[in-house]
Chain A
């Protein structure tokens, strides 16, 4: 038995589960059981990936007699696929575990259970594909099944709209990827990945394919301006599906890009790297700025996913620049940062979406301004959400810090690049990424503070109950991994080293043997970081501070109303809310989101209250998509007249076309 056999068995079991769930969709306990049974299958996928990575054996390949008769379905498990399989398996298992509990209070379990295992299997198919046909088949299955999951609550207008938008964008993405693979396969139609690797291409064609792949994978991952469906569709799905879409599916999309850019295309001209870097940095800043301005709990998380995808994309671009300039060791550093951040983002974003789902289930309210004070009513959810928020804000000693730190180490090495353009551009992109990281911290202080701290802003929040044990177990597992990867990152970095070596041509020096679990990513550099030492320091200083405060300041526990600054009976609405917390940053970043504020004063003598209206828009939507849609409408309205011509006019059209073509032929000769 080899890792790929294990992965195939697990994938087949997931497909079987989907089929069984269709039959059992009417029974609530059966739907929960399907979710439960998906957990070991997903864990088996993760184990297959882990096994392949740890053994670092030559890739296993299988050709299944499915699909096109003369082609079959080629599957291959190399180090990069193994890394993604591990990521996907862990995310899928946590989502399945959480889903067992979630389905108890879900109104439409029969609309979720049949699609979830199939969605996992489709993502595994994309990861394992070894020819363009299988890849695109898996990609399309992944899109369609997640679309069905987004439409689980299809009676809600929002969900329907999100589903339509998602379907359009997914269709666009697949079409663009189809073009990219067609160009790579060339006129002979070598659609196997081995044939694509072997083919020779000029730099212009390579750049074109990379640009198409960026648009195709980017529309799935959420790269600005192709991100518009993401803040609509991710929140519309059930929470564990949101976790899968944000945490795992975006990574599968990034995998597609990395597979094409680093593996299939061969050498890429260096001037494509700045495109990726600037797209990534721009995506990061735009995403997090809009996350700051949004008031919906899950929408904030979806916008933050866009930011993190931007960070990963920038790291990939940096790796591309280093590799094109013949610096494989630095490329390995940037790639390690990208993959580690992908893994970390899967962990904490899934965790946060699940926590948001728990809050949604407990209160029925998804807008931040209806929540507050949940730390007292949902202590476990509050604790794991705190871990997730700290991790995503990139604070040490959690895992988010490690990958962002590695990324900035790579950015700081950019003066070694030979191209002056890149020497200027990479530090600028680094500045944008630093801005995004700082804004992310502010965003998640707001997220956590408004939802979990303070006093409840609604009755629903005041009467919330802690979520069920299954959901808590799923979240706790992810939180534990977040802490583990933050404190002992060396183990994971060594584990993903084969994938990095495969793409960069070199790996980082082994990290797990260093004293105090210290990371020393650049051997000759003086940079090092030890999560373990930070933990020890935080524990010592925090413990000492707590001890001192209790010793000197408060001998006994006192409970007093929060924010009781002379207004003992004031309404909870006088607290800092989501909008007021964001106001300073919203004003500073106003050009990024066309933010406007207007005070509506009542006329003199009227008793109506004054109102503050805040308007924020996604510029990509209002400046790009809406004009595009309006233009399309105008053109189609004009062309509609063509449906009602007379016979003579149709003949004239044919005649004119013929004459035009003949004239063209005459001129061309």
Chain B
């Protein structure tokens, strides 16, 4: 049975990476937010499975935080924001989908190579692969922040990056619970701050495309 437990953990972490790829090619914002909610749900499941497998009960709390905040409150808030701002039709990738997907694959390959190499002979295989998947999610989140122009998508990229962090924290034994809590709250606060800024940007410029701000600064020369 330990093999099955391992496989399930592996499956959940792997699906996180897969959902990260789905995030990258989502063109519509509502779909993007739904995929993000899915990723948060998977994260909660992965963390809960870790808690069950290792008997570490404080990880259940982490899973609950992920479920409540990131799978429900944050997507709901962002959905509402998008509705209020009326930007649900915008498609705003900077780089095309194919090159981005290729770059993402390269990043996953890089992080798996690197992590398996670095942690050779240390720790159990589960946490090693968890770390590799977590790094992939982090890098894909960053890639998303870089390849999107819309501020909401950039927030989603940031949140997905943070999902990777939580996954790494859950996989690595010994990360204090307090740190996880504070990370979760800081992400929430970051979302609120960014949301407020979004509204302000919108009031000023009638758009949340950050390219408009570039134009306003007089730097993006036609």
Contacts and interface: CB of A to CB of B under 8 A. Distances in A.
A659 interface: yes
Interface stretch (B70-78, B141-149, B180-188): B141-149
Contact of A662 (B110, B148, B214): B110
A665 B154 CA distance: 28
Contact of A659 (B110, B117, B148, B214): B110
Interface string A523-557: 00000000000000000000000000000000000
Contact of A652 (B110, B111, B117, B146): B146
B219 A646 contact: yes
A655 B219 CA distance: 22
B107 interface: yes
A129 B146 CA distance: 55
Contact of B219 (A644, A659, A662, A665): A644
A648 B146 contact: yes
A665 B149 contact: no
Interface string B30-48: 0000000000000000000
Interface string A647-666: 11001100100110011011
A655 to B, nearest CB: 5
B210 interface: yes
A651 B146 contact: yes
| Majority secondary structure, A binding face | helix
A662 B142 CA distance: 14
| Majority secondary structure, B binding face | helix
A658 B94 CA distance: 20
Nearest to A666: B114
Interface in B96-155: 107, 110-111, 113-114, 117-118, 139, 142-143, 145-146, 148-149, 154
A636 B94 CA distance: 29
Contact of B146 (A655, A666, A669): A655
B117 A658 contact: no
A519 B111 CA distance: 77
A646 B110 contact: no
B210 A659 contact: no
A393 B178 CA distance: 81
Contacts of A648: 94, 145-146, 148-149, 154, 210
A666 B113 contact: yes
Interface in A614-669: 644, 646-648, 651-652, 655, 658-659, 662-663, 665-666, 669
B96 to A, nearest CB: 16
Contact of A655 (B94, B110, B142): B142
A57 B145 CA distance: 73
B109 to A, nearest CB: 10
A662 B114 contact: yes
Contacts of A662: 110-111, 114
Contacts of A666: 110, 113-114, 117
Contacts of B154: 648
A646 B214 contact: yes
Contacts of B219: 644, 646
A646 B217 CA distance: 10
A646 B219 CA distance: 8
Given A646-B210, A648-B94, A659 B107 contact: yes
Nearest to B117: A669
A659 B114 contact: no
Contacts of A665: 114, 118
B173 to A, nearest CB: 23
A235 B214 CA distance: 53
A669 B116 CA distance: 11
Contacts of B113: 666
A452 to B, nearest CB: 66
Contacts of A652: 146
Specify which of B139, B142, B213 lies most central, judged by the most chain A CB atoms within 10 Å of its CB. Answer: B142
A646 B118 CA distance: 35
Given A644-B219, A669-B118, A663 B110 contact: yes
Interface string B200-222: 00000000001101100001100
Given A647-B210, A669-B117, A655 B111 contact: no
Contacts of B213: 646
Specify which of A644, A651, A658 lies most central, judged by the most chain B CB atoms within 10 Å of its CB. Answer: A651
B92 to A, nearest CB: 11
A399 B214 CA distance: 73
A655 B143 contact: yes
A319 B193 CA distance: 71
Contacts of B146: 648, 651-652, 655
Nearest to B118: A669
Contacts of B214: 646
A659 B106 CA distance: 10
Nearest to B143: A655
Interface in B3-20: none
B117 A651 contact: no
A669 B110 CA distance: 13
Interface string B154-173: 10000000000000000000
B94 A659 contact: no
Contacts of B114: 662, 665-666, 669
Nearest to A656: B146
18 contacts: A644-B219, A646-B211, A646-B219, A646-B220, A648-B145, A648-B148, A648-B149, A651-B142, A655-B142, A655-B143, A655-B145, A662-B110, A662-B111, A665-B114, A665-B118, A666-B113, A666-B114, A669-B117
Q: Lowest 5 A-B CB distances belong to which pairs?
A: A652-B146, A666-B114, A646-B214, A655-B142, A669-B117
Interface of B: 94, 107, 110-111, 113-114, 117-118, 139, 142-143, 145-146, 148-149, 154, 210-211, 213-214, 219-220
Given A646-B210, A648-B145, A669-B118, 20 more contacts: A644-B219, A646-B211, A646-B213, A646-B214, A646-B219, A646-B220, A648-B94, A648-B148, A648-B210, A652-B146, A655-B142, A655-B145, A658-B139, A659-B107, A659-B110, A665-B114, A665-B118, A666-B114, A669-B114, A669-B117
